[in-house]
A and B are shown apart, each in its own frame.
Chain A
Amino acid sequence: GAVVSQHPSWVICKSGTSVKIECRSLDFQATTMFWYRQFPKQSLMLMATSNEGSKATYEQGVEKDKFLINHASLTLSTLTVTSAHPEDSSFYICSAYWVRKTEAFFGQGTRLTVV
């Protein structure tokens, strides 16, 4: 099956710093990638839809200046959490949509802890 690699798997950073999370589709091209946030014991909350070569579309209530998304190529999307605060600590999951399979394939997630 298709592989989506998310890096890093976990990261600890200090308040006020920025953290970049990468999402790569290893064996297919993804014109559309999604970024989700998951709070403990809760479902995935869609943060934004990332389209290759254009600006991301953010869901209501998600700060686009805080969560910077870049989709520079058909196999890579990045999420940068800027000026991180402890309340940004969460589990972030990306997914890449493979049109031919009509399926979204998910990365393994990134556990972000801001101290």
Chain B
Amino acid sequence: AQSVAQPEDQVNVAEGNPLTVKCTYSVSGNPYLFWYVQYPNRGLQFLLKYITGDNLVKGSYGFEAEFNKSQTSFHLKKPSALVSDSALYFCAVRRPSYFNKFYFGSGTKLNVKP
């Protein structure tokens, strides 16, 4: 079965400090990996994705993610958090297949305090 795990329901960090939001996956084959952000009552906004190539992927708003195949992880990172980064973050994987179906993690609420 395909699955995505975000072990932390919530992450608290002070503004200016680095942040990490964790994601591990269990998907057969070579999945595509994604991070999305959701603000209250809004749809998901794409942050970044990993398809192939360099394990460190840079995305929108200063976020980056590191793909680790041996640990099947795709953690989201940012060197210096902003209060405006506070939102709900979802990790997602897609197995290249006919239906192009996405599997989402349970989400991690990021709280950045001034």
Contacts and interface: CB of A to CB of B under 8 A. Distances in A.
Interface in A34-84: 34, 41-44, 46, 49, 57
Interface in B56-114: 90, 94, 99-102, 104-107
A17 B40 CA distance: 27
B41 A105 contact: no
Nearest to A59: B101
B5 to A, nearest CB: 11
A43 B23 CA distance: 14
10 contacts: A1-B46, A32-B100, A34-B102, A91-B41, A93-B44, A102-B49, A102-B51, A103-B34, A103-B46, A104-B100
Interface of A: 1, 4, 6, 32, 34, 41-44, 46, 49, 57, 91, 93, 95, 97, 102-109, 111
Kindly list the 10 A-B residue pairs having the minimum CB-CB distance in the complex, ordered from nearest: A106-B43, A106-B44, A108-B43, A109-B43, A43-B106, A43-B104, A44-B104, A107-B43, A43-B107, A93-B43
Interface of B: 32, 34, 36, 41-46, 49, 51, 90, 94, 99-102, 104-107
